[in-house]
Amino acid sequence: MPAVFVFFLLSACEGPVPEKQALRRQEAARAVLDSALEHSARGESAEAILLLQRAAQLEPRDPVIHYDLGNNLARQGRLDQAAASYQRAISLKPEYAAAHYNLASVRSAAGRHEEAEELMARAIAADSGYQSAHKALAQLRERRGDYAGAIESLEIAVGIRPDDVEARNQLGYLLGKQGRPAAAKAILERTLQIDSTHANTWAHLGALQLAAKDFTSARQHLERAIQLNAYHAKAHFNLANCLMRLGQKESGQNMLRRFEMLRAIDTDIAKYREAIRHDPTDPALYQALARLYSRRGETDKAIQLYRQAISRDAELAAAHNNLGNLLLQQKRPAEAARAYRAALLADSTYALAHNGIGTVRLLSGNRLEAMEAFERAVELDSSNRTFADNLRSVQILLQHAEKSRAR
């Protein structure tokens, strides 16, 4: 009897131990995951990946960990590794629509478009209301010339989110390509009622009117498109043709030259994207592509690409500095200051970053420290007129402040 009692007593003691250990592992994995997500949100994919790999060791059956690991690997261009992480997430949670979607995205980025289309369909099967997946499936269908299928997917996407101007605009464009100008015109005009600042919609309406030989209306719509997006290459080309049809040959030729310049940027972007597909580890490729998107005014894309460059080589002072400039343009001074400081950690003699720090400090009202930063920039590059002008401006502000206090 005592022996039996001891047996059950030991069982009672030993039973909960694995459960407690499992709970502790889950809690530790969740803490590591939270930290990884914070790094990921700041664009620090390399740090996030290390943390997520640790979280996956602690809790290998958590699909969310593998999904987030895939996201950060994809941001670094490590597409095959990202795909493996998404596949692991799907094996643990077959109905994980977002994992199917992102796996399709990396397969498409790797040029495996047929597989991507099948995977995107699986994302929709897992969640029929997944509006982004319907839009992505439309793009894949359009790519292989299945305009009817692409239109069907976009009609579903618009049905799910009637206010999605991108989906509406693309639907109108494809209806026009399919030879249905009246239907295209109706949906594009409705799109402008939702968002009158959507440059692509103005451009597509202008193209429809140009095809219909309504040159006066086409010109108005195309000029509006360019006013909203000065880098819209196709709108420039169509406007050049429109101006020539209206007898304005010189203006048309000037517009055509502008189009050629913009097309050259587009061509370079395509080249760098292809180069990245073949070598996703080269930071210089991301930095060069970021500059092109910045020139074209696509700031968000440029910011993402600079961060991808930095994640591959943290010593790229120019990438940190340019990232800071773009963040400052977006009125994000705290993030810009971090980028400038990172540039100076990579190269303490990088004059442009000292100037950037000075600008951030001046905007925050810290004139004395701004002056110190501008002085350092001038000391490092006395030939730069902008640095000298910034220094002189802050000195004048300090002199006026001193005189005001003296009164």
Looking up residue 106, the CATH number of its domain turns out to be: 1.25.40.10
pTM exceeds 0.75, yes or no:
no
CB 277 within 8 A of CB 251: no
For 65, the domain range is 23-127
Whether the per-residue pLDDT at 8 is higher than 60: the answer is no
| Structural domain includes residue 310 | no
pLDDT digits (tens, 9 = 90+) for 109-141: 888 999 999 999 999 999 999 999 999 999 999
| Structural domain includes residue 395 | no
Whether the per-residue pLDDT at 17 is higher than 60: the answer is no
| Structural domain includes residue 208 | no
Q: Cβ of 61: how many Cβ atoms within 10 Å?
A: 11
**93 alpha-carbon distance from chain centroid:** 27
pLDDT reported for residue 20: 74
CB 364 within 8 A of CB 333: yes
pLDDT digits (tens, 9 = 90+) for 166-196: 999 999 999 999 999 999 999 999 999 999 9
Whether the per-residue pLDDT at 366 is higher than 70: the answer is yes
Reported as a pLDDT band with limits 50, 70 and 90, residue 14 is very low
> Residue type for 151, please?
I
pLDDT reported for residue 373: 96
pLDDT reported for residue 406: 67
| Structural domain includes residue 58 | yes
CA distances to 77, 149, 226 from 142, rounded to whole Å, are 25, 8, 25
Lookup: tokens for 29: 């994995």
pLDDT reported for residue 43: 75
Contacts 24+ apart (CB under 8 A), 303-306: 303/327, 303/330, 304/43, 304/75
- Total number of domains constituting the chain: 1
pLDDT reported for residue 18: 66
Give me the sign of the Cα torsion angle 315, 319, 321, 326: negative
Q: Which has the higher per-residue pLDDT, 378 or 404?
A: 378
| Structural domain includes residue 161 | no
| Structural domain includes residue 378 | no
| Structural domain includes residue 386 | no
Q: Residue 45 burial by CB count (10 A; 0-12/13-18/19+): exposed, middle or buried? A: buried
Lookup: tokens for 162: 């009637």
| Structural domain includes residue 43 | yes
Q: What are phi and psi for residue 163, nearest 5 degrees?
A: -95, 10
Place of tokens 């730069």: 384
